[in-house]
Amino acid sequence: MNYEEIQSYFNRHCRIKLRSGREVYGVLWEEMNEVERAIYFASFIEHKKLMNKRKKQETAADPSLRLLSEDILSIAQIES
């Protein structure tokens, strides 16, 4: 998938099929720095914890996984 297709799923609970053949459930989000933008994935619960800690400006171990857009074959939002 290309970046523009993936972007509409950021910060939503999704089912993601990866190039490795794995199917994972969780949240994708983007982080940008001066040099590059990166796509990250974490389980729904870990993403929620990480975002709450960032709001409180606490440091925490980052359970996220960095992905390339080429690693994502398909994505579907999970209805709540």
Identify the band that residue 71 occupies on the pLDDT scale cut at 50, 70 and 90.
very high
User: In this predicted structure, what is the pLDDT of residue 56?
Assistant: 80
User: In this predicted structure, what is the pLDDT of residue 52?
Assistant: 85
Rounded Cα distance between 38 and 23, Å, is: 20
User: In this predicted structure, what is the pLDDT of residue 65?
Assistant: 87
Instruction: Answer whether 0.85 is exceeded by the pTM.
Output: no
Long-range own/partner contacts, residues 17-25 (CB < 8 A, 24 or more apart): 17/72, 17/73, 17/74, 17/75, 18/67, 18/71, 18/72, 18/73, 19/70, 19/71, 19/72, 19/73, 20/71, 25/78
User: In this predicted structure, what is the pLDDT of residue 61?
Assistant: 62
- Could you name the CATH architecture of 3-77? Roll (2.30)
At 1-41, the pLDDT tens digits run: 888 899 999 999 999 999 999 999 999 999 887 677 889 99
